[in-house]
Amino acid sequence: MHSGILRGFTHRHEAPVQYILRLDETEVPLNDWVGEHLQIQFLHEIRCIHCNRKIKKTYNSGYCYPCFVALAENDLCIVKPHECHFDQGTCRDEAFAQTHCMVPHYVYLAVSSGLKVGLTRKGNQMKRWTDQGAIQAIPIAELPTRKLAGELEFELSKHVMDKTDWRKMLKGEVSEIELLQSRIEILAHVPEAFKPYLLDETTVFEFLYPQMESLQKIKTYDLEKSPMITDRLIGIKGNYLMFEQAVINVRKYSGYKVSISLEASQVAQ
């Protein structure tokens, strides 16, 4: 049995992607558990993933309210980067901006529930694509700041989706898409001011996830309503553990103290 505060997944980008669950400082490799019956129990303790304050509920997947309203990583410009207000002198944390926003970013095309455009900090792209459950991805532009990348993403989102339908992503309901051809088509919509930032990238990154069976219907587990989950793990994709009966978004429960183990009957065998 492993227990601790949920800190999300880390990955090794192999075929399939290797998933490691972080519980405080403990790392639990999960791929070998696919196909097994697991028990996940919420231990009725929640802590802010930034300041470790004990709290009753989280904001923005893991934060206490004071950290939610004070930290730069929770500002609106994180989800709407084209609305960055650093140049207005109103950034919540200049040091954070210098390391996370005033650095090169990719604008990319990916296939998860369908074709989508997105952005991510250069060097973070593999984690970003895996977190979204992408099966293919390709960077199309590299820009010097998050704001510039956000402005290009905003323009391209007028022609291609910028959201993932998580239900379709988990079901694998994705039409066949020729990503290099889609790249050619979307580049025709790039405004002139952004053309110097375009990449000649022709390598399509592909992702295979540890999954034994397909999901026909999507139900979700709620740790608040059902603090004990016992079910057979059939796959892992994006931020989701996929069980026979339902799925659980691990990121949603960041900050929750849980235990996770193989079902006792299997351990005894």
pLDDT tens per residue, range 51-106: 999 999 999 999 999 999 999 999 999 999 999 999 999 999 999 999 999 999 99
Q: Are 243 and 211 in contact (CB under 8 A)?
A: no
pLDDT in the model for residue 174: 87
DSSP 180: H
C-alpha distances (whole Å) from 156 to each of 122, 208, 217 are 19, 27, 32
Domains of the chain by residue range: 2-58+211-268, 63-102, 104-206
- Percent of the chain at pLDDT exceeding 90: 93
Exposure pattern of 226-264 as b/e (b: 16+ CB <10 Å)?
eeebebbbbbbbbbbbbbeebbbebbbbbbbbbebbbee
pLDDT tens per residue, range 112-134: 999 999 999 999 999 999 999 99
Mean pLDDT, to the nearest integer, of 27-32? 97
Indicate the pLDDT class of residue 266, thresholds 50, 70 and 90.
low
Q: Of 158-167, 198-207, 259-268, where does mean pLDDT reach its minimum?
A: 259-268
Indicate the pLDDT class of residue 216, thresholds 50, 70 and 90.
confident
Residues written for the chain: 269
pLDDT tens per residue, range 135-189: 999 999 999 999 999 999 999 999 999 999 999 999 998 888 999 999 999 999 9
d(CA 218, CA 133): 16
Mean pLDDT of the chain: 95
pTM above 0.85, yes or no: yes
Helices (H), 86-177: 94-100, 125-131, 146-156, 166-171
Whether residue 265 has pLDDT greater than 70? no
d(CA 48, CA 264): 31
pLDDT in the model for residue 268: 47
pLDDT in the model for residue 267: 52
